[in-house]
Chain A
Amino acid sequence: MAHDTDVVAEAEREAGIEVGEETARPVPLPAREPIDRSGQPLLSVQYVTRQIDGQTIIDNVSFNVWPGEIFGIMGMSGSGKTTLLRLLIGLDRPDSGEILFKGESITELSEDELNRVRKSMGMCFQYSALFDSMTVAENVGFAVRNRRDLSQDQRRRRVAELLDMVEMEGTEDRMPADLSGGMRKRVSIARALMEEPELVLYDEPSSGLDPIMACNISGLIKKVSTDTGSTAIIVSHDVPNLLGICDRILMLHDQKVQMIGTPDELREDDTPVVHRFVHGLGTADMTEHCSMR
């Protein structure tokens, strides 16, 4: 047991270095340039409120994400993280407030205009949302299926490259139904990255994965963002990994922004809810039951 935690801790520390014997393949984590926050934010969320069935799910939320940044969103289950991500990519519209992508408001855009904006975005869904009538390769290559500037061969190579990146090489012809939940997750990450989007939204990229793979995925997200200069917004419960790779993290609580800060600022914050969340403690009356932490 102790050995397992050691392994995980080590993997976390090395952020991305895989430890398994068979699959050992270090993902070298490149050094990150500091984020320039003086220019225009890539994404600007301003006073956004969303109600569903008369219930407020997101209440007056504002934040900016700058180009190249890895931005984490955490919060308790049901706190509206998925709802927020859906708003960011225009799957859903806010009741009030505004969302700007590269300075352009996307809240009032028609579906056609949104599609233009969405070409610069990728989204990885919480439950993968793979097309179950298509093979893995068709899923990953879906976004470029009609691109004339890419030959069949180039497309196939890019799909193989992406699958390799998420450690799913050789699964091109399998159907999503034949894959485990974690494998589907990884395929969906590859699919989101197909068009090299400027902004990638990850909804729980590591849920349902073993700790080593979760750590690898985190490392991968960081590597992709650093290599391509793309921006990532990651919704996750996996606090250690989130703290490990994010430049800044937003904590949602009671439908509102509880705090936005760097991992260090979050670690040091002593607001009870932030402290409990970051250090994995239950609410006061439950803490003793999970004192293993």
Chain B
Amino acid sequence: MLSAIAAFGAYILRGLEYFGETSELHLRTLVHLSRGNIELKPTIAQMASVGVSSLPIVAVTMLFSGMVFSYHVADQAMLLGAGGFVGWAVAETMARELGPALTAIVVAARAGSAMAAELGTMKVTEQIDALRTMATDPVQYLVVPRYIAGLATVPMLVLVADVIGVSGGYVMANATIGMTADGYFGSIPGNLEIWTVAAGVIKGIFFGIIIAIIGCHQGLYTEKASEEVGRATTRAVVYCIMLIYAANLALTVVLFP
């Protein structure tokens, strides 16, 4: 019993420590940003890397998700005689939930893990120490570019995801209930509010930040052993996904009161 309490206590302490470390990392990143300490070359490289590496998987994921969702909705809508709203229903769901959340999870798996692996390897091979001896703050040189890449690229990917998801939905609606393009897409402009799309994009910004900070933190705090890099990478993805879901709930409540 006592050991169970002790274990629980240790767990809580570890959680607090983790929260402290990531908060500090985030704060230091923001300080560099506010001072304009931004290195252009690595920042552009990171944006290209996060965007390009994630785009194909985002596209595939969203295409199939849109199709599956539309398959269910079209069926129900026909029963209720509301077939004219299928396009809107798919678009609304994509913009509010599926677009941002699925994109974030794909980016976490693809780019968040890469951040942890790259920085972890640099830590283990003393490249981070080498940066420090050359009077370069690793947070400024490594984390700030990834942070900018996360918060700039994920929202853009969310928009792309929305479009691909809705398009996938059309393919399925057309195949199952013979919906025309006019009927499907025509129902969207009058019903889908621009704010709904914007809210999804705002979620994307927050998710991008979460991915960058957690991925970089796992990398920078890797213990000095190569097998630790693999563990840090796995942890980065797991923590990202958990935090993205939790943040999604909070953001949904705030953005759609």
Chain A residues in contact with chain B, CB under 8 A?
86, 89-91, 111-112, 115-116, 118-119, 121-123, 125, 127, 129-133, 142-143, 146, 191
Stretch in B122-130, B153-161, B180-188, B226-234 touching the partner: B122-130
Task: Assess whether B134 is interfacial by the CB under 8 Å rule.
Answer: yes
CA distance A130 to B132 in the complex (A): 13
Shortest Cβ distance from B69 into chain A, in angstroms? 40
Q: Are B127's CB and A121's CB within 8 A?
A: no
The chain A residue with its CB closest to the CB of B133 is: A123
Contact A142 B129 (CB under 8 A): no
Give the contacting residue for B130; candidates A111, A112, A131, A133; CB below 8 A. Answer: A131
Instruction: Give the complex CA separation of A237 and B169 in angstroms.
Output: 68
Q: Does B24 make an interface contact (CB < 8 A)?
A: no
Residue from A89, A121, A125 with most neighbouring chain B CB atoms (10 Å): A125
Q: Is the beta-carbon distance between A91 and B135 smaller than 8 angstroms? A: no
Asked if residues B130 and A122 are in contact (CB atoms below 8 Å), the reply is no
Instruction: Give chain A residues whose Cβ lies under 8 Å from the Cβ of B129.
Output: 86, 91, 125, 129
Of all chain A residues, the one with the shortest Cβ separation from B128 is A129
- Does B137 belong to the interface (CB within 8 Å)? yes
Q: Which of B121, B129, B130 has the most CB of A within 10 A?
A: B130
Shortest CB–CB separation between residue B128 and chain A, in angstroms? 9
Question: Can you list 18 contacts pairing A with B, beta carbon distance less than 8 Å?
Answer: A89-B133, A90-B132, A91-B132, A91-B133, A111-B132, A115-B135, A115-B136, A122-B133, A125-B126, A127-B126, A129-B125, A129-B127, A129-B129, A129-B130, A131-B127, A131-B130, A132-B125, A142-B134
Q: For the complex, give the distance between the alpha carbons of A133 and B130 in Å.
A: 14
Residue of A nearest to B118 (CB): A133
- Which residues does chain A contribute within 8 Å of B39, judged by CB atoms? 146
How many chain B residues touch A (CB < 8 A): the figure is 15
* Total of A-B residue pairs, C-beta within 8 Å: 48
Query: Least Cβ distance of A271 to chain B in Å?
Result: 34
Most A Cβ at <10 Å: residue of B134, B135, B136: B134
Are the C-beta atoms of A118 and B130 separated by less than 8 Å?
no
Report the bound CA distance from A146 to B134 in whole Å. 12
Chain A positions within 8 Å of B121 at CB level: 132
Instruction: Tell me, rounded to whole Å, the shortest Cβ–Cβ distance linking B123 to chain A.
Output: 11
6 A-B pairs with the lowest CB-CB distances in the bound complex, closest first = A129-B126, A115-B135, A129-B130, A123-B133, A118-B135, A143-B134
Residues of chain B within 8 A (CB-CB) of A118 are 132-135
Nearest CB in chain A: distance from B174 CB, A: 46
Taking the closest CB of chain B, its distance from the CB of A26, in whole angstroms, is: 32
Other-chain contact of B135, A130, A133, A143 (Cβ < 8 Å): A143
A115 to B140, CA, bound (A): 13
B137→A115 contact, CB < 8 A = yes
Instruction: Please measure, in the bound complex, the distance between the C-alpha atom of A144 and the C-alpha atom of B233, giving whole angstroms.
Output: 32
A92 and B53 CA atoms in complex are apart in Å by 36
Residues in B with CB closer than 8 Å to A115 are 132, 135-137
Q: How far is the CB of A113 from chain B (nearest CB, A)?
A: 11
Contact at B125–A121, with CB atoms within 8 Å? no
A123 to B136, CA, bound (A): 13
Task: Name B28's closest neighbour in chain A (CB-CB).
Answer: A111
Please give 14 more A-B residue pairs, beta carbons under 8 A apart, in addition to A91-B133, A127-B126, A131-B127. Answer: A90-B132, A111-B132, A111-B137, A115-B132, A115-B135, A118-B133, A123-B130, A125-B129, A127-B125, A129-B125, A129-B127, A130-B130, A131-B130, A143-B134
